[in-house]
Amino acid sequence: MLVDRPSGQRAWRLLPLLLLFAAWKAGSGQLHYSVLEESKHGTFVGRIAQDLGLELAELVPRLFRLTSKGLGDLLEVNLQNGILFVNGRIDREELCGRSAECSIHLEVIVDRPLQVFHVEVEVKDINDNPPVFSVSEQKLSIPESRQLDSRFPLEGASDADVGENAVLTYRLSPNEFFILDIINKKDKGKFPVLVLEKMLDREENPQLQLLLTATDGGKPEYTGTVTLLILVLDANDNAPMCDRSVYEVKMYENSANQTLVIWLNASDADEGINKEMIYSFSALVPSSVRKKFLMNEKTGEIRVNDAIDFEESNTYEIHVDVTDKGNLPMVGHCTVLVEILDENDNSPEVVITSLALPVREDAQVGTVIALISVSDRDSGISGQVTCSLTPQVPFKLVSTFKNYYSLVLDSALDREKTPELNLLLTAVDGGKPELTGTVRLFIHVLDINDNDPEFEQSEYKVRLMENAAKETFVIKLNATDRDEGVNGEVTYSLMSVKPNGKLLFTLDENSGEVRVNGTLDYEENKFYEIEVQATDKGNPPMAGHCTVWVEILDANDNAPEVTVTSLSLPVREDTLPSTVIALISVSDPDSGANGQVICSLTSNVPFKIMSTFKNYYSLVLDSLTLLLYTALRCSAPPREGACGPAKPALVCSSAVGSWSCSQQRRQRVCSGEGAPKADLMAFSPSLPPSLDREVEGERQEAGLNYPGQC
Ligand SMILES: *[C@@H]1O[C@H](CO)[C@@H](O)[C@H](O)[C@H]1NC(C)=O
Ligand SMILES: *[C@@H]1O[C@H](CO)[C@@H](O)[C@H](O)[C@H]1NC(C)=O
Ligand SMILES: *[C@@H]1O[C@H](CO)[C@@H](O)[C@H](O)[C@H]1NC(C)=O
Ligand SMILES: *[C@@H]1O[C@H](CO)[C@@H](O)[C@H](O)[C@H]1NC(C)=O
């Protein structure tokens, strides 16, 4: 073939030549025409009759006819003018498909004589077919990770036309990622290839829609398009990201277990498992912090998992890793700063740092007893402590420095009033509710010998019978001393006994018992004044005093005493009755009833006595003057037992006994002879039996001081 392929334009210029050539070929016995496909009905193809050398007039008579195998009557001859024309629609592509040569073979037959001519009508292609893609949309899945210059072959278009009309050029809609490369495959046309020119990013453009246009070489040209749907496949090229790099959270201490601290929401721009995330504590997080918080690795919730104590730590720094599940996992980081807020959950603590005990009773006001420090682990106002002391104690708190105090003696101590003090130190913080800390301080006051022994009374009065025996109990003295220990232990001593000196009484130094140590005589001394001192064993010792007044009671230990104070002797025989012969006074040193004397005369004497005044009597001549005379005349001591029965005697008696007066001076002259002894001073007790014993020992010589010569 003369036709050269590459240039369509040149082919068109050669077309007239082609027609000439067709005519020329007819000469060789075979006519050759050409007609453009899709020509209109009636389109002139060739002067077939003429060209075959047939007369127009003979066409009909010779039964000119045209056959074409199986093609019907696409071409027809006008028998009038012998012109071959287009009679039906000639579609080259239908007739010949994609073969480059396409002809309709006509057989022309005329009878008389029968002649057969072969006519070739070449059907020329016109550009009546656009390039066609097999699908309207081509899908390509391209990983975003593909490198630049990666190539992705595309299915090309096809064009039913032939020749230039089927020569396709491709064009890609403008985009930044791909360019088009065309591969010429020998005899098999051109194939478009996508070439990656800029990295894809699924996260930015998850899919791209491009338009690939194929244009044929016809005139006018036809185009065909296909949509290229490029699905960008995810690569794990994005790390999970928190929406902030640092989160600040505030929470109170003592938050309940499982309290939500923060809910992290990281995101990952990738897809599928590449965006599935796991939250975890970073390796930077120390175990002490891990212990406190629990990380939900799926949801990103961080919760309290242990006691949160402000005093233990007031901030926590939690570094979090968020890791995706991609093949090559990527990790994002963020930090949660947890600030713990203080609650008043610590009581103030009171500590006694130094203590000087016991405290002496005589300690000076201002003496420091104890040093105290208070503390509170809370912060701010919850940690501010004020300290106070039990009211009404002789101590005060003096602040020496912030949170340091001295416990100082504020007023004088008196162990005897308050031997020990129970102090309560109270520290209160400023929190809400306030918390309190206390400490008890037990202070023992050390005794000083500052109290005298004291008797219950300063004077005691005791009565004692004069005839009390030695060792007779007089009184038990008891002095008390308010001091403690030896300072309060008391011994007694006898300081003085008036008027007779100390020997009459004894005092037991430990028991305080006073006893008799000698003979007491009422008639000699009726009162004793005993000075007693009680002394404690302190150093220096202290003393107290008392006086014991001992009143001696009379015992009837004295016989009445009869004294003839005046006597008119001799008595004349003719003395008249009622003449006073003598005046007699009677006395008894005993007191009370013991000293009351009643006198009487022995019977059968011519005298009688008349009481003139208390204890004074007159002896009056009664009738037996002579007898009295005789009685009173006796001048010399009579012989023993020679006392006559009728001798007058004065008998005086007191409650406890009676005495009689005779001319004898001593009672003991009379012995136990049968005769009455009325002439003697004889004691005849008339005491009740109970007094017998006492009286027995004290029976005394009782004598009449008889001044006369009786
Ligand atoms: C995370 O998401 C949850 C649920 O939507 C929300 O309650 C929480 O406040 C979010 N966390 C942050 C730190 O924004
Ligand atoms: C807090 O709760 C978790 C889960 O119930 C438990 O394992 C942990 O021991 C609790 N912590 C405390 C301090 O009670
Ligand atoms: C002394 O008196 C005190 C106080 O009245 C008393 O307790 C104590 O027993 C007495 N002592 C003696 C030895 O009687
Ligand atoms: C008691 O009396 C006796 C004899 O009169 C005397 O020797 C003694 O010292 C007295 N005792 C006291 C403690 O005075």
Q: Determine what percent of the chain falls in helix, strand and coil, rounding each to the nearest 5.
A: 10, 40, 50
Q: Is 691 helix (H, G, I), strand (E, B) or coil?
A: helix
- In the predicted model, what is the mean pLDDT of residues 647-662? 51
Task: Look up tokens 């403690």; give the residue.
Answer: 484
Angle at 492 (CA atoms; ends 486, 498), nearest 5 degrees: 155
Bridge partner residues of 33 (DSSP): 121
Question: Atom 6 in ligand 4: which residue has the minimum CA distance?
Answer: 503
Which ligand 1 atom sits nearest the alpha carbon of residue 265?
1
Q: Which residue has the tokens 């296909």?
A: 226
| pLDDT tens readout for residues 385-434 | 999 998 889 999 999 888 899 999 999 999 988 888 999 999 999 998 89
pLDDT category at 647 given cuts 50, 70, 90 is very low
Q: Which of 224-233, 290-299, 571-580 has the lowest mean pLDDT?
A: 571-580
pTM: 0.53
> Ligand 4, atom 5: nearest CA belongs to which residue?
518
Average pLDDT on 211-237 reads 91
Mean pLDDT of 164-171: 87
Q: Which ligand lies nearest to the CA atom of residue 488 in the structure?
A: 3
Q: Which protein residue's CA is at the shortest distance from atom 7 of ligand 1? A: 263
Out of 247, 250, 263, give the residue to mutate to test ligand 1, the one with the largest number of ligand atoms within 8 Å of its CB. 263
pLDDT beyond 60 at 279: yes
Rounded to 5 degrees, φ, ψ at 370 are -150, 155
Q: Calculate how far, in angstroms, residue 531's C-alpha sits from the geometric centre of ligand 4.
A: 17
> Residues with Cβ within 6 A of ligand 3?
478, 480
Q: Tell me, what's the pLDDT at 568? A: 73
CA of 183 to the centre of ligand 1 (A): 55
Neighbouring residues of 140: CB distance < 8 A, sequence distance ≥ 6: 152, 154, 194, 228, 229, 230, 231
- Residue appearing with tokens 């308050």: 418
Residue 653, pLDDT > 90, answer no
Which of 457, 460, 476, 480 is the pocket-test mutation for ligand 3 (most atoms within 8 Å of CB)?
480
Q: What are the structure tokens assigned to 260, written together?
A: 């939500």
> Token pair for residue 269?
């721009």
- Please report which confidence band the pLDDT of residue 363 belongs to, taking 50, 70 and 90 as the band edges: very high
Is the pLDDT higher at 214 or at 586?
A: 214
What distance in Å separates the CA atoms of residue 553 and residue 463, rounded to the nearest whole number? Answer: 6
pLDDT band at 690 (very low <50, low <70, confident <90, very high): very low
Q: Which long-range contacts (CB under 8 A, 24 or more apart) does 93-96 make?
A: 93/37, 93/128, 93/129, 93/160, 93/161, 95/37, 95/71, 95/123, 96/123
* 3-state secondary structure (DSSP) of residue 15: helix
Site residues for ligand 1, CB cut-off 6 Å: 262-265
Cβ neighbours around 293 below 10 Å, total: 20
Q: Which two tokens stand for residue 301?
A: 């919730």
Asked whether the predicted pLDDT for residue 225 surpasses 50, the reply is yes
φ and ψ at residue 3, rounded to 5 degrees: -70, 130
Shortest-distance ligand to the CA of residue 279: 1
Positive or negative, the CA dihedral 32, 36, 42, 43 is: negative
Residue 678 predicted with pLDDT over 70: no
DSSP classification of residue 656? T
Name the percent of the chain lying above pLDDT 70: 82
Ligand 4 atom with least separation from CA of 503: 14
Query: Cβ(496)–Cβ(427) under 8 Å?
Result: no
Which of 89-103, 586-600, 653-667 is predicted with the least confidence, judged by mean pLDDT?
Answer: 653-667
CB 535 within 8 A of CB 510: no
Q: Which two tokens stand for residue 701?
A: 């010589």
Q: What is the mean pLDDT of the chain?
A: 80
Name the token pair of 681: 């001073």
Lowest average pLDDT, out of 45-49, 317-321, 597-601, 688-692, goes to 688-692
259 lines ligand 2 (CB under 6 A): no
